[in-house]
Every structure is written in structure tokens, then in C-alpha cells.
Amino acid sequence: MCGIVGFIGKRACTDVLIDALKRLEYRGYDSAGIAIFEDDKIKTVKAKGKIKEGLVEKLKSEPIFTAVCGIGHTRWATHGEPSDVNSHPIGNGRVSIVHNGIIENYREIKSFLIGKGYGFESETDTETVAKLLDYYYEGDPIEAIEKAVGVIQGAYALGIIFREHKNKIFAVRKDSPLIVGKGKGESFIASDITAIIEYTREYYCLERGEIATLDENGIHFTDLHGEAIEKELFTADWDVESAQKGGYEHFMLKEIHEQPDAVRNTISPRIKDGLPDFGECGLTAEKLRAYKHIFIVGCGSAMHSGMVGKYLIEDLARTPVIVDIASEFRYRNPLVSDGDLVVIVSQSGETADTLEALKLSKAKGADTLAVVNVVGSSIAREADMVIYTNAGPEISVCSTKAYAVQVAFMYLLAFEVAYARGRIDEARCKELVNGLTEVPEKIQECLNDLSIYQYVASKIFNADSLLYIGRGLDNALSMEGSLKLKEISYIHSESYAAGELKHGTISLIEDGTPVIAVMTQSSLFEKMLSNVRTVKSRGAKVVAICRAAENLDADCADYKVGLPEADDLFLPLISTVAMQLIAYYTAVQRGCDVDKPRNLAKSVTVE
């Protein structure tokens, strides 16, 4: 997903911009560029490909910059293929911009501007904004921005420079993220704090209808009419070290190992006297008793955490839960109304579809609860109530710890709904909460010896296709296990309810097809054994993920991944770690770019 940076200070800006752009690489991109003030001109250098091989190489053949102010961008192509010309910054020498988001009415704007004599070089929606700003510019940048944002529709975060306003950056946004960093004698704009945390921890969140002006005197905020406004300054408590790999080969592996702490950090602030407590965000027992329906909405791994939530809440609280993919939810006129609770789950808090699902839920009168990881993100700010999952920055595109903490939260939510609705008594609720607090230790046990995951990976890494099967909670958790494997190893993988296999998907099994059977639920164990035997007799190579103490016959599983002893309710959450590690080592053995899988973006801020 596109990344924006901008810098004004006293030192050479090129190094700062490149460094900040590299820190946004995790968002996924296919080209990068910068535009800086050099003498009385705007100089732009941009290139398709990775920053190191593309932009940095190109900069070597250009004169050395002494500029102190500029903007930069990593582009994730939406309108027009990845190419030098479609890369940002985009402009015409008088004005240059970097853009994240999608301009929905760009065709209309383009034909208007063509009618006014403008030519277009790129296929991007962004170029229409650059030229529109130029069209409106008559000497006052704020006035030009005000007019342009009155015309453009869609989502945008924009960093803008005007040749006639040397060493000044302007920023404006709607629906796409942008922060403004305040350093010592220098200022920044960035898509997120990770980009600039090396330089400052202090930042402002730019809101819709606000314009930030950054120059050598500091940062100045105005509304769209040029009236000055005061803004709250936030301080990021993430340290630089935690945003780096910390000795692990990949961020993904590091983040998998951070899960015991991450889960503790998520649950412990929400436990009071041994019971769940969501008082911090205003989600009271009274409210939980009164809600007519509970919806859980998200994308990707976040949605998968909702599937676990559904199983848990329905089982423990006997309350129906509707789980939906945000991109479907927002376009199918969902039956959400006043009196319902919509839980919006998102690691980044910026996913465009999820944000829109949230807005729709609010418009329909529902109470909204955001479960997000990034403090101050758009979804967190927009929702009625917020739970921060406290997992720390997740850099690997493939989500691991952020998913685990979302699931951990689902457990606590299920306990609280069940308790509030009188389905369990205080003693049982305390017992359940206590069980959850033991999960981090069990996850740690799974991390103490990694050899079994490496061994299993060595047996499956050559496969073209494989299946995950499970029942009950194992089915819900396997969806995520399968997604992990497919995301990073590029092996086709499907997760299937074990009992449903016989109605079609079993035809995919042939000699040697790996089947990963998740079998943690005692009450469903015998049923799973039958399913496993069925696939095995058709040639499947079975990897069973189950309690270490379980004795499996040779006619059943080829390989066993043993899990520590825990209650049936919690074992699926623990098994997640095993599935993540199998996916990780499989991808490593296939030589894949684990942290930056092809075609994927960490934060999908466009539809």
C-alpha cells in the first residue's frame, strides 16, 4: 500500500526521505520516488522496483542533493502499471504531489482539465489532482488546496509542494492515513509513525478538513478556510528496536516469538478481580445484555479472528454472532440496526473496506467497537468504543501476533458476554479467565523447540496444493493456518470443515497430497480420526496437530505436531503458533520473501 513521507529541516533531506521510505517498505510497494527543492526548482527522481535497486541506484547518477526539504513516496499500483512514469511524486514543475488513496472522479477531472489545455503523461488518478492544484493555484497554496479538495472525491492523503513556496510542505487528507511528526528543528509527514520514529516520537494526526503547513518555522494547522487550529500532540511509545528484527531472520519469526507477551499485553489490562472488564472503552455489562445482535467484521486475518469469536460467543453465551468480510458487508445492505453491536477488527485500523463497514454500521445506528492495534488509527478514531490490542508494531506483511491477540480478545469478549447474559456464573467466568491467562506460557512451550515445524516443513514444501481440516474451533483456527501458508509459501491451500470434505473437496486428494489435520477438541477427536483415515486411505500425507500425549496409529498420521496439555477451549489458540511456524519454515525452505510476499500489502487503504 502506498507510503508517504516528507521532511523539512536543516540537514540534507535525501537521506532522511530514503531512510523513511525504507521503513515503509513493509506496507508493500512496486515503485518509489522523491521530489525536493533544488535551487529554484522542484527536482524529481523516481523509479520502478525496490528502493535499493531502483530509486537509490538512479540517485547515484544524479547530482548530489543539498536540499533540506522534500516529499517521497512508495507506490502500490492501482491506476496504471508499476512504471517510472506512474510513480510518485507527480507534478508539472510548478506543483508536485505524493498521494495515497483513490480519486473516484478522476476521469471527470481529467476531461475537465484536458478541456483547459492540460496534458497527461501517466495513467494515474493522482496526476489529475496535481494538475487540478496547478489549475487553481494563483499564488496562494491554501486556496488552491481548498478548491481542489472541494472537487476531488474518494480517499486521499496528499503531500504537496509548490515551486514558488520553497521549503514548504502542505498536507491534507480524507480517509487515507497521514501523520505530521514534530522533531527538534525539523518536521515530517508520514503515512505512519514507523517511517519517522528514528527521528521523532511526537506526532499529530491530521484530520479531514485540516491542512498542515510545514516550513522552517515548524508546523502550522489551518482549516480549509485558512483559519488556524490547535491540535493534540501524541507520543508514540514504540521504540526503534521493537520496530526492527531483533536478531531474528525475519520479522515474521520475531513476531511469532513475541506472541506470549503480546497476548499478555492484550488481556491483562482487561482483567479486573479475575473477571473481564471493558470499562476503559465503555462496553458495560448492561450494554452487552441489551444488544440484539452481535456482528464481527474485518478482512483477512482480522475476519478469521471473528470466526473464532463466533464459535466462542455462540457456545458460551448462546448468542448468535454474524461474521462478515468487510468488503461484502458494506455492499449487501446488512441487517444491522439500532440496538446491535458491530465489532470491527483491524490490525492497522486503516483498511479501507473495514473503515467503510464501520461507517455504514454507525449510519445504521449500531454501536461500534473497534479492536485495533495501531493507536490513533482511522478506525480507532471513528468507532464509538476502542480496544487497543497492544501487540506492538507488526512489520511482516503476514499477520501473526496481531491475529493471536485479536483471538485472545475474542475469548475475553465471549466470557464477558456469557457472564453479562447470565449464561455462566462468576466462578465459571473466573475459571475461564484464569485459563486464558495461562495461554501465553503454553504458547511459549510451543516456541521452545522449533525442530518439529522445520521437519514438517521439509516434508510438505514441495507440494503444489494442500488442505487444512478441522472441526469446531479447530475449523475456525485452521482458516488462518491455511491463509498463512498460502500467503507466504505460494502453495495453494484450502481450509475445510473436516465433515464437509466428503461433499466435494475430497476429490482433490491424490497420492502424497499433504493434509494438515487440526485435532485439539476431545469431543470431536473420534470424528476427526475417521476423517483423517478417510483421506489417508486415498493417499494423503497427514500431519496431525494435537495434544502431545495423544497416541496416533500409523494408519492415521504420518507426522505429529504435539501441543502442550490445556483445556479444549484454549488449545486451538495455542495450535495457531504451530500453524504459523509450519507456514514460516515451508516458505523459508521454498526460498520465498517471507516478510514481503508477492502481490500483498500490509495495510490495504484502498478498496
Single residue of 346, 400, 521, 580 touching ligand G6P by CB under 6 A: 346
| Residue 110 annotated to the active site | no
State the number of binding residues for ligand G6P (CB under 6 A).
17
Closest alpha carbon to 387 in 370, 367, 406: 370
List, in sequence order, every residue forming a beta bridge with 543; answer none if it has no partner. 516, 559
Measure CA of the first residue to CA of the last residue in the chain; give whole Å. Answer: 11
Single residue of 264, 423, 536, 602 touching ligand G6P by CB under 6 A: 602
Residue 351 makes contact with ligand G6P by CB under 6 A = yes
Report which secondary-structure segment, H or E, holds 87: none
Residues of span 380-409 touching ligand G6P by CB under 6 A: 397, 399
Are 379 and 330 within 8 A, CB to CB?
Answer: no
Are 517 and 532 within 8 A, CB to CB?
Answer: yes
Are 204 and 234 within 8 A, CB to CB?
Answer: yes
AA letter at 194 = T
Q: What is the nearest approach in angstroms of ligand G6P to the Cβ of residue 579?
A: 15
Specify the stretch interacting with ligand G6P by CB under 6 A; choose among 43-51, 114-122, 299-307, 532-540: 299-307
Of residues 325 and 447, the one with the C-beta less far from ligand G6P:
325
Residue 423 makes contact with ligand G6P by CB under 6 A = no
Are 505 and 333 within 8 A, CB to CB?
Answer: no
Single residue of 2, 68, 485, 604 touching ligand G6P by CB under 6 A: 604
Of residues 134 and 356, the one with the C-beta less far from ligand G6P:
356
Of residues 176 and 348, the one with the C-beta less far from ligand G6P:
348
Q: How many CB atoms lie within 10 A of CB 237?
A: 9
| Residue 602 annotated to the active site | yes
Of residues 362 and 533, the one with the C-beta less far from ligand G6P:
362
Are 82 and 30 within 8 A, CB to CB?
Answer: yes
Distance CA 139, CA 536 (A): 74
Please identify which of the residues 2, 205, 299, 429 carries the catalytic annotation.
Answer: 2
Are 527 and 519 within 8 A, CB to CB?
Answer: no
Per DSSP, the residues of 187-215 read: EEEESSGGGTTTT-SEEEE--TTEEEEEE
Residue 535 makes contact with ligand G6P by CB under 6 A = no
Residue 436 backbone dihedrals phi, psi, to 5 degrees: -65, -40
Of residues 71 and 397, the one with the C-beta less far from ligand G6P:
397
Q: What is the nearest approach in angstroms of ligand G6P to the Cβ of residue 379?
A: 8
Specify the stretch interacting with ligand G6P by CB under 6 A; choose among 262-270, 272-280, 343-351, 560-568: 343-351
By CB neighbour count within 10 A (0-12 exposed, 13-18 middle, 19+ buried), where does 89 fall? Answer: buried
Q: What is the nearest approach in angstroms of ligand G6P to the Cβ of residue 4?
A: 18
Single residue of 32, 68, 297, 302 touching ligand G6P by CB under 6 A: 302
SS3 assignment, position 46: strand
Residue owning grid cell 517471507: 594
Single residue of 44, 347, 400, 521 touching ligand G6P by CB under 6 A: 347
Of residues 370 and 457, the one with the C-beta less far from ligand G6P:
370
Q: What is the nearest approach in angstroms of ligand G6P to the Cβ of residue 512?
A: 30
Residue 300 makes contact with ligand G6P by CB under 6 A = yes
Q: What is the nearest approach in angstroms of ligand G6P to the Cβ of residue 373?
A: 8
Nearest residue to ligand G6P, scored by beta-carbon proximity: 300
Residue 468 backbone dihedrals phi, psi, to 5 degrees: -110, 135
For residue 356 the three cell numbers come to 467503510
Residue 354 makes contact with ligand G6P by CB under 6 A = yes
Per DSSP, the residues of 299-354 read: SHHHHHHHHHHHHHHHHHH---EEEEEHHHHTTS-----TT-EEEEEESSS--HHH
Specify the stretch interacting with ligand G6P by CB under 6 A; choose among 84-92, 199-207, 347-355, 517-525: 347-355
Single residue of 100, 128, 265, 301 touching ligand G6P by CB under 6 A: 301
Q: Catalog residues that contact ligand G6P under the rule CB under 6 A.
A: 298-302, 346-348, 351, 354, 397, 399, 600-604
Residue numbers annotated as active site: 2, 602
